[in-house]
A and B are shown apart, each in its own frame.
Chain A
Amino acid sequence: MGNPATLNSMLIVLEQLGRRTIRAIEEVGYLFSLLVESLFWIVCGTFYKQPVRIPSVFTQMIQIGIAAIPIVFVLSFAIGVMLAIQGIHTLKVFGAESQVVLGIAYSVTREFGPLITGILIAGRSGSALAARIGTMQVNQEIDALRVMGINPVRYLIAPALLAMLIMVPTLTFLSDLAGLFGGAVFSSIEMGLSFDAYANQSLEILEVDDIMQGLIKSLVFAIIIVMVGVVNGFDVRGGAEGVGRATTRSVVLSISYIVIADMIFTYYLNR
């Protein structure tokens, strides 16, 4: 027989573990129910005379997408340059520096383009969404929408989801171009490779599937960013402090889910 105090501690740990597991399952269930409801309003809203407002979608597209173009470009360019530095340095050992274009092309389009864009938008727009919904929750604005007969999922989440589903793949494509451009700039400085030659090699190497792989990932990332932000926003309790906690949690969870989803996708799409 064990020490009763140790047994008691183990029981407490087990109880906490059980509670957290149940909460996590509930949260995932809630996330999926909100996702299904949002998609329902996007597709069927018009038939119920409650369409998702297009001006609202455009506003969100500008906030999520257009305003993020400079930072996505700069970071993706930097990633392209870093890949070129590392690639040339590594391939030099085998005397195969010229193959660096292949490495950059695959890495950027399949991995880094969608990943960097996803992480960036999670930090920038996912957190803003969680903070906005959380503040509305605290100020009873969500309740106000409900009692006005306005479904908050249709009014708040569906436009954000639609905007994100359009803008994250668009930004990912921009990120691909910026990353390839960064690689081209460093390769031309380091190896004297012309932009024309770099572009031709990249186009020869890349297939539509490579670009599509990144774009499909970016769609999943878009859903993760919106839904995690929204679930955390709706769950806010306790005023401004609660909003801060929800925002932080939303960013950490979104980025974690994005990286894990990326790993799973990479495994299955490259078998």
Chain B
Amino acid sequence: MATSDRNPAIEVRDLVTHYGNTEILHGVNVTVYEGEIMIIMGGSGSGKSTLLRYLLGLSIPTSGNISILGKDITKLDAMEMQELRKNMGVAFQGGALLSSMTVGENVQLPLFEHTRLDRKTMQIMARMKLEVVNLGGFEDLMPAQLSGGMIKRAAVARAIVMDPKLMFFDEPSAGLDPVVAAELDELILRLRDAMQMTIVVVTHELQSAFKIADRITVLDRGNILMSGTVEEVRASGNERIQSLLNRRPSTEELAADEYLERLTRI
């Protein structure tokens, strides 16, 4: 289905954010349509992780609007935001499993907090989600006993236990060997196809991005360079995008007076 036939699940309009006195995102616009995998790509310091924090409602923007599933999260109160988050799942870069709980308890936590299911049903549901991520039988282990890839998959199981409509991944392949990274890519594709989830992936891993993306948004120094399909991004004539895709160091040079100003700025 063409993206224009779908409803937007996420709409970001003119998003401006600051960290202290420094402006990080300079009026960002992004649209993610229902049922697609959107990759947010960019180099280190491009603002992609910052954008993710704002999409998750973890920080308040300076200006602009962020609409998630039809609700402008910049205008929601804490309780409304909490309700909306039941439709969102997040797999953080390091997994962010609660270290004091077993894997099974971690996966059950959202059910325990948001539903009135009995303990046995919650255990069964958690086991099912762990099976989806190929971690069946690991529910009694503590997070410290798992490998990096297993932690990430357990985090995915926890994120999908409430069957969210939206799923966010922060650097899913970072620090994983190619085989485990490929398994995680397959899992992301499965979540879109089998569970009809809308998925946003923040990454700088090109191979993984090109494999799973429906569309790619390229961020650079707080600005969107372009949004498009894999082919459109590959064919882009933008020098910064080509530097990123071909792993070339940026050839941009500062003017002498600008360089001097940067060095002597107090």
Contact = CB atoms under 8 A, between A and B. Distances in A.
Interface of A: 48, 50, 135-136, 139-141, 143-151, 155
B66 interface: no
Contacts of B58: 143, 146-147
Contacts of B93: 140
Given A135-B99, A147-B88, A140 B94 contact: yes
Given A139-B94, A139-B96, A150 B56 contact: no
Contacts of A146: 56, 58, 85
Interface string B83-101: 1011010101110111100
Nearest to A37: B78
B-side interface mostly: mixed
A97 B38 CA distance: 83
A147 B159 CA distance: 9
B86 A149 contact: yes
A151 B56 contact: no
Interface of B: 56-58, 78-79, 82-83, 85-86, 88, 90, 92-94, 96-99, 109-110, 113-114, 155, 158
Contacts of A150: 109-110, 113
Residue of A136, A146, A147, A150 with most chain B CB atoms under a 10 A cut-off: A147
Contacts of B57: 147
A147 B90 CA distance: 7
B110 A141 contact: no
Contact of B109 (A140, A148, A151): A148
Contact of A144 (B78, B83, B96): B96
Nearest to A132: B100
A56 to B, nearest CB: 11
B98 A147 contact: no
Given A149-B110, A149-B114, A155-B113, 4 more contacts: A48-B79, A147-B90, A149-B113, A150-B110
30 contacts: A50-B113, A135-B99, A139-B94, A139-B96, A140-B92, A140-B96, A141-B97, A143-B58, A143-B92, A143-B96, A144-B96, A144-B97, A146-B58, A146-B85, A147-B57, A147-B58, A147-B88, A147-B90, A148-B85, A148-B109, A148-B110, A148-B113, A148-B158, A149-B82, A149-B83, A149-B86, A149-B110, A149-B114, A150-B109, A151-B82
